[in-house]
Structure 1
Amino acid sequence: MQPLERELEGLERAVSDNLADAMARVAAGVANLRLRRWGRAAAHLRVAVAAQPDFAQAWSNLAFAQLELQQLDAARAAADRAIALDARLADAWNLRGLVLERGGHLDGARADYEKALGLNPDFANAHVNLANIEQARGRVDAARAGYERACALDASLAEAHYNLGHLHHKTGRVEDSLPHYRRAIAARQDYAQAHHNLAHALLLLGRFDEAWPESAWRQTRLAFADARALAGRPYSLPAFSPDRRTLTIVGEQGLGDVVFFLRFAPRLRELGWRLRFTGSSRLAPMLRRTELFDEVLSENTDVETNEILAGDLPLLAQGSHAPPPLALTPDPAMVEAMRARLAAAGPPPYIALAWRAGTPQLGPLETLFKELPPAALGAALHGLDATFIAVQRDPRAEDVAAIAAAMGRPVHDFSSTNIDLEEALALMAIVDFSVGVSNTLVHLRAGLGREGDVLVPFPPEWRWMEAGDSPWFPGFSVYRQDRARHWDGALAQLAAALSRKVSSARTGSSRPNSSP
């Protein structure tokens, strides 16, 4: 039992001796807060404020517990009550700021954080929270200064180090982010997001061996492990033995991620494992054609053999190199159907376009959202003598219109191929060029041994490395947004490269091999 848990055990006994003792309830509530047991903390603190309604600090602590329970209205009311009882309580102002920030009211949150710091200039948590507002407003230098001030005031404050590390990470100072992620983890060993972002930073730098253990803290893995533990089947990396050599790979991530990580599966076959796969049925036909798996099962199939998540394959595959993509082959009948659709759209060469992927996300979390300005992409492609097809998932009509207007050419809608991955694989096998942001179709294209032109936002996704070409996508050309988040240079480079490629394709001097 940890010291804090032993302390809490004593506090719980004290509460049981006097159920209405407000001070004992607050102490038990605070101990539960420190253990991140939000529900139990809130229960103790509600009793405390019922027993002593004028206890300002108890109301403030209750606001914290309710905030973590996503009870924003109740948390706001508790923080307001604390401030009404004691307007000099910096903690209450800080907590009300957190409630306002969580609700998207950044200006109100800023005012409350500033009030908290006016009352207590050495309040490290309030410095962190105000710095978060500065970062959200794009004031990077002010945010950095706030995080650094918080670290100086409280070197053990995990959130201060995490946020400073993330700010370095997202502004391109990846190496500088590492010590701060590590200090955050030292302060709170179970800080999953710090582990996760540390993994991404190390992967960007090509330090794969260090990165993979940290990637085990990703949310999909933690959720899977929790579910297995509840079912009485704790999840851990399997150990090879001659009598238990069947290994079921569970596709727990998005389709593109699963395809990406399956590149490590051939190595497991070399090590003696017999492989099965369970995951999305949309991947099943192409995975069966690899002849790598003894069985390809539908997702949610209950298995009794050794299990490993697709994202954990690098941990079992033994090796620090970047293996080539899993080799994929399209269905021949689907290829012919796609050829007919392309011919109906226009003459070759064919250029597939995708300009958006992922989900936008604000705040100090690593996000894989990627987006190109449609009109700027179209302008870069203006003058190319080719047939353009949109393979963007769920394209907005106004985006397609902007690209077409800027190019002066129509954009043919092939977005439905995102639904049927067999269609997508066949299409990626035969289009001459693939242009856009990284998405599932890029993973399919790589598995086919084809090349592509990928535009990488700043800061880059870890698969595309901090600079240069990516070892994960052989033959792909990478065009990077600059640190000021401008696309002009990258799109100019893309335009020049595509002009040469299309010219060569049309003259036949180096026409890409469009055969699957």
Structure 2
Amino acid sequence: MDMKDLELQVRPMLIAGRGAEVEAMVRPLLASGTGPVTLWALLAQALRVQGRVLEARPIQEMLVDALPGHLSTRFDLAETLLLLGEFERGWREYAYRYSLAHTTRIERKVQRPRWDGRPIPGKTLLIHDEQGYGDTFQFMRMVAWAKEKSQANVILEINHETASLARRMKGFDAMTVRGELPPYFDVHAEMMSLPMIMGLKLSDLPGEPMPYLSALPERREQWRKRLAPYQGLKVAFLWAGRPTHFNDANRSMSLEMLAPLAQEGVTLFSVQKGPKEEQALNPPAAMGKHVVSLSPEIKDFEDTAAILMEVDLLISIDSSPVHLAGALGRPAWVMLPLLPDWRWLQKRDDTPWYPTVRLFRQTEWGQWGPVIDRVAGALAEFKKAKGQG
């Protein structure tokens, strides 16, 4: 079998989480300690799929040394380093995140120099968001830090969907919405480049102020009235991410799988948006009386923020409302796949990014059942602690 045929055979296996099988196929071909770069890359991926990220790291470093201009290899290494909490080099490698198959559309060509982290009093710094809504909620905290360090006039350019929440945040002098022509600026920085520019360390998190976002009082009052008729524990939840996300199959599940959360004394309020939101309008019989769909009434993130302030808890897959809850200082439980996104680190049930967020991790690829059972048990305990059980 030639290299191309082997790669075509194992790619679907890696996507399906069959890393151990791929490792068994590839290792004998590398027994001498040498071999084609493609084989080493497949081995690194096979190890990552098994959750053996630390073992994959030296292979990825070797690949970057061999192929310094291969951006996807550098990006893979960045994700591994950040997942391991090695922020210093991780942020540097993360600068290679553009020009990949799934990032080309978000790269911006800005005809101004990037801010290098030094004070620039009297100058204007444009900070612009770049990726998903969750990324924006997570890294908004650094805008105020960048203003303090730069001593500059800061313009925040942000997507339309999160702009109203951002307007109530401190740390910038003016705001413009993505797609509009921004005012004049001297230097710029992508919001997710601020960690590299400012040398963000784990010990800097979560940082101040915390929380750094707030809900509109008038929206809170609307949702307080909407939820008032429901007794017991109020839990917002969602189970699926954006289908176009490159890793969505790894992080999402079906509503039916969350049946163990349907407990006496608990009302589950669906805040699911997108193609899967209709599932909550006709939930499985075992969940029926416990599920209330709020999705058709949610117009924007202001509604989501207000709901999160009025419920006791959010239970979710890795999604933007998790980051919104964390930024609001609200309790959230996140169900994570075996190989999670880099920001959740490894082998811990908390996160330095958000003091109010708790993590529930898979221990086997694709196996959500044990995760949901642990969440259901924790929910029963939470209910007792709240005096609802």
TM-score, normalization by structure 1: 0.66
> Aligned-pair distance for 1:249?
1.0
Question: Residues of 2 paired with 1:494 and 1:225: CA distance?
Answer: 35
Question: Residues of 1 paired with 2:276 and 2:249: CA distance?
Answer: 20
User: Which residue is 1:246 aligned to?
Assistant: 124
Q: Do residues 276 (structure 1) and 155 (structure 2) align?
A: yes
Q: Do residues 394 (structure 1) and 274 (structure 2) align?
A: yes
1:195 to 31, 55, 74: 74
User: Which residue is 1:453 aligned to?
Assistant: 333
Question: Residues of 1 paired with 2:278 and 2:270: CA distance?
Answer: 13
Q: Do residues 406 (structure 1) and 286 (structure 2) align?
A: yes
Question: Residues of 1 paired with 2:297 and 2:188: CA distance?
Answer: 31
> Aligned-pair distance for 1:395?
5.2
- Contact 1:203–1:465 (Cα < 8 Å) also in 2: yes
**Which structure 1 residue ranges, 5 or more long, are not aligned?**
1-116, 118-122, 509-516
2:166 to 280, 283, 287: 287
In the TM superposition, 1:97-246 aligns within 5 A as 117=1, 123-135=2-14, 139-148=18-27, 151=30, 155=34, 157-219=36-98, 223=104, 227-228=108-109, 233=111, 236-246=114-124
> Aligned-pair distance for 1:155?
4.7
Output the amino acid matched with 2:125: L
**Which structure 2 residue ranges, 5 or more long, are not aligned?**
none
CA distances 1:469-508 after superposition (whole Å, capped 9, x unpaired)? 2212213222112224322322222112111222332459
> Aligned-pair distance for 1:169?
1.1
User: Which residue is 1:427 aligned to?
Assistant: 307
Q: CA RMSD in A?
A: 3.0
Aligned length: 379
Alpha-carbon distance change, 396 to 431 in structure 1, aligned in 2, over 3 angstroms: same
> Aligned-pair distance for 1:406?
2.2
- Contact 2:17–2:365 (Cα < 8 Å) also in 1: no
Question: Residues of 2 paired with 1:130 and 1:235: CA distance?
Answer: 44
User: Which residue is 1:264 aligned to?
Assistant: 142
User: Which residue is 2:243 aligned to?
Assistant: 359
1:323 to 205, 209, 221: 205
- Contact 2:155–2:173 (Cα < 8 Å) also in 1: yes
User: Which residue is 1:443 aligned to?
Assistant: 323
- Contact 2:241–2:248 (Cα < 8 Å) also in 1: no
Output the amino acid matched with 1:282: E
Output the amino acid matched with 1:491: I
- Contact 2:159–2:178 (Cα < 8 Å) also in 1: yes
- Contact 2:263–2:290 (Cα < 8 Å) also in 1: no
User: Which residue is 1:79 aligned to?
Assistant: none
SS at match of 1:454: strand
Percent sequence identity over aligned pairs: 24
> Aligned-pair distance for 1:351?
0.8
User: Which residue is 1:347 aligned to?
Assistant: 231
Question: Residues of 2 paired with 1:367 and 1:153: CA distance?
Answer: 37
Higher relative contact order by CA 8 Å / sep ≥ 6: 1 or 2?
2
CA distances 1:165-217 after superposition (whole Å, capped 9, x unpaired)? 12211210001111222222222212222222211111221111121111111
Question: Residues of 2 paired with 1:416 and 1:140: CA distance?
Answer: 40
Alpha-carbon distance change, 167 to 213 in structure 1, aligned in 2, over 3 angstroms: same
Q: Do residues 372 (structure 1) and 250 (structure 2) align?
A: no
In the TM superposition, 1:301-320 aligns within 5 A as 301-303=180-182, 304-305=184-185, 306-320=187-201
CA distances 1:306-364 after superposition (whole Å, capped 9, x unpaired)? 111111010122331252266111111111011122125x2343110101114377xxx
CA distances 1:115-150 after superposition (whole Å, capped 9, x unpaired)? xx2xxxxx4444444433554566534422444455
Question: Residues of 1 paired with 2:44 and 2:250: CA distance?
Answer: 20
SS at match of 2:322: helix
Structure number with greater Rg is 1
Alpha-carbon distance change, 220 to 129 in structure 1, aligned in 2, over 3 angstroms: closer
Question: As a proportion of its length, which structure holds more helix?
Answer: 1
2:361 to 480, 500, 514: 480
- Contact 1:351–1:386 (Cα < 8 Å) also in 2: yes
- Contact 2:20–2:50 (Cα < 8 Å) also in 1: no
CA distances 1:97-121 after superposition (whole Å, capped 9, x unpaired)? xxxxxxxxxxxxxxxxxxxx2xxxx
Question: Residues of 2 paired with 1:320 and 1:417: CA distance?
Answer: 40
Question: Residues of 1 paired with 2:35 and 2:114: CA distance?
Answer: 30
Greater shift, 366-375 or 412-421, is seen at 366-375
TM-score, normalization by structure 2: 0.86
SS at match of 2:161: coil
- Contact 2:19–2:47 (Cα < 8 Å) also in 1: no
> Aligned-pair distance for 1:456?
1.0
Question: Residues of 2 paired with 1:342 and 1:415: CA distance?
Answer: 13
- Contact 1:124–1:154 (Cα < 8 Å) also in 2: no
Question: Residues of 2 paired with 1:145 and 1:360: CA distance?
Answer: 31
